[in-house]
A and B are shown apart, each in its own frame.
Chain A
Amino acid sequence: MSKNQHIRAFGSRISLLHIVVVSLSLMLTIGVWQYSKNQVQTRTEMRFNAATERAVGLIRDRMKKYEDALWSGVATIESHGGDMSYEEWQIFAETLEIEEKYPGINGIGIVHFVTQQSLDDYLTERRAERPGFAVYPAHEQDIFIPISFIEPEDINAAAVGLDLAHEVNRRTAALASRDTGSAQITGPIVLVQDVGHTAGFLFYAPYYRGAPPTRVEDRQTEALGMVYAPFVVRKLMEGLLAKDLRDIRFSISDNGEDIYGEHGTDDPLNDPQPMFSDEVNIELYGRTWTLDVRSNLAFREVNTYTQPTLILIGGLLIEALIISLLVLMSRANHRAVAYANTVTSELRAKSATLEKANAELEQFAYITSHDLKTPIRGIAGLTEMVQEDLEDYLKSPGANPEVGTNLDRILDRVGRMNALIKGVLEFSRIGTQSESEVSLVLSDAIEGLTSDFGIEPGQLVLSGDVEAVQFDTFNFRRILENLVGNAIKYHDGAKPLRIEVSVKDCGKRYRACVTDNGPGIEPRFHDKVFSVFQTLRDAGAPESTGIGLAIVKKTIEHHGGTITLASNAGKGAVFSFDWPKAAADMRDGAGEFRGVA
Chain B
Amino acid sequence: MTNHLNILLVEDNEVEAQILKRSLRKIDVSSTVIHARDGLEALEILIDETGGIAVTDPFVILLDINMPRMNGHEFLAALREREEISNARVFALTTSNNPLDISRAYEKNISGYIVKPDTPSGLLDVLSALKQFWEVCEPPCAISA
Q: B-contacting residues of A (Cβ < 8 Å)?
A: 370, 373-374, 376-378, 380-382, 384-385, 388, 414-415, 418, 422
Which residues of A sit under 8 angstroms from B19, Cβ to Cβ? Answer: 377-378, 381-382, 384-385
B120 touches A380 (CB 8 A): yes
Which residues of A sit under 8 angstroms from B96, Cβ to Cβ? Answer: 370
Give, as a whole number of angstroms, the nearest-CB distance from A343 to chain B: 38
Give, as a whole number of angstroms, the nearest-CB distance from A474 to chain B: 14
Q: A377-B16, A378-B16 are in contact. Are A384 and B120 (CB under 8 A)?
A: yes
Give, as a whole number of angstroms, the nearest-CB distance from A97 to chain B: 134
A377 to B95, CA, bound (A): 10
6 A-B pairs with least C-beta separation:
A381-B19, A378-B15, A418-B118, A384-B120, A381-B120, A380-B120
A370 to B97, CA, bound (A): 9
Give, as a whole number of angstroms, the nearest-CB distance from B130 to chain A: 17
Q: How many residues of B contact A (CB 8 A)?
A: 13
26 CB-based A-B contacts, threshold 8 Å = A370-B95, A373-B95, A374-B13, A374-B16, A374-B95, A376-B118, A377-B16, A377-B19, A377-B95, A377-B116, A377-B119, A377-B120, A378-B16, A378-B19, A380-B120, A381-B22, A381-B120, A384-B19, A384-B120, A385-B18, A385-B19, A385-B22, A414-B119, A415-B119, A418-B118, A422-B118
A377 touches B118 (CB 8 A): yes
Give, as a whole number of angstroms, the nearest-CB distance from B10 to chain A: 16
Bitwise interface map of B from 1 to 35 toward A, beta carbon under 8 Å scored 1, else 0: 00000000000010110110010000000000000
A378 to B123, CA, bound (A): 12
A145 to B17, CA, bound (A): 166
Which residues of B sit under 8 angstroms from A370, Cβ to Cβ? Answer: 95-96
Q: For chain A, what secondary structure do more than half of its interface residues adopt (helix, strand, loop), or is it mixed? A: helix
B95 touches A381 (CB 8 A): no
Bitwise interface map of B from 62 to 97 toward A, beta carbon under 8 Å scored 1, else 0: 000000000000000000000000000000000110
Which residues of A sit under 8 angstroms from B116, Cβ to Cβ? Answer: 377
B119 touches A380 (CB 8 A): yes
A377 to B115, CA, bound (A): 13
Give, as a whole number of angstroms, the nearest-CB distance from A378 to chain B: 4
Instruction: Name the interface residues of B97-124: CB closer than 8 Å to any CB of A.
Output: 116, 118-120, 123
Which residues of B sit under 8 angstroms from A377, Cβ to Cβ? Answer: 16, 19, 95, 116, 118-120, 123
Q: A370-B96, A385-B18 are in contact. Are A378 and B119 (CB under 8 A)?
A: no
Give, as a whole number of angstroms, the nearest-CB distance from B11 to chain A: 11
A381 touches B16 (CB 8 A): yes
Which residues of A sit under 8 angstroms from B13, Cβ to Cβ? Answer: 374, 378
Which residues of A sit under 8 angstroms from B22, Cβ to Cβ? Answer: 381, 385, 388
Give, as a whole number of angstroms, the nearest-CB distance from A289 to chain B: 118
Give, as a whole number of angstroms, the nearest-CB distance from A537 to chain B: 22
Which residues of B sit under 8 angstroms from A381, Cβ to Cβ? Answer: 15-16, 18-19, 22, 120, 123
Which residues of B sit under 8 angstroms from A422, Cβ to Cβ? Answer: 118
Give, as a whole number of angstroms, the nearest-CB distance from A370 to chain B: 6
Extra pairs beyond A377-B118, A378-B13, A414-B119 (7, CB < 8 Å): A377-B95, A378-B19, A380-B118, A381-B19, A382-B15, A385-B18, A422-B118
A475 to B118, CA, bound (A): 22
Give, as a whole number of angstroms, the nearest-CB distance from A418 to chain B: 4
Nearest B residue to A385 via CB reads B22
Which residues of A sit under 8 angstroms from B119, Cβ to Cβ? Answer: 377, 380, 414-415, 418
A301 to B141, CA, bound (A): 127
Which residues of B sit under 8 angstroms from A380, Cβ to Cβ? Answer: 118-120
Which residues of B sit under 8 angstroms from A374, Cβ to Cβ? Answer: 13, 16, 95
Give, as a whole number of angstroms, the nearest-CB distance from B95 to chain A: 6
A376 to B95, CA, bound (A): 12
A376 to B96, CA, bound (A): 15
A378 to B13, CA, bound (A): 9
Nearest B residue to A415 via CB reads B119
Nearest A residue to B97 via CB reads A370
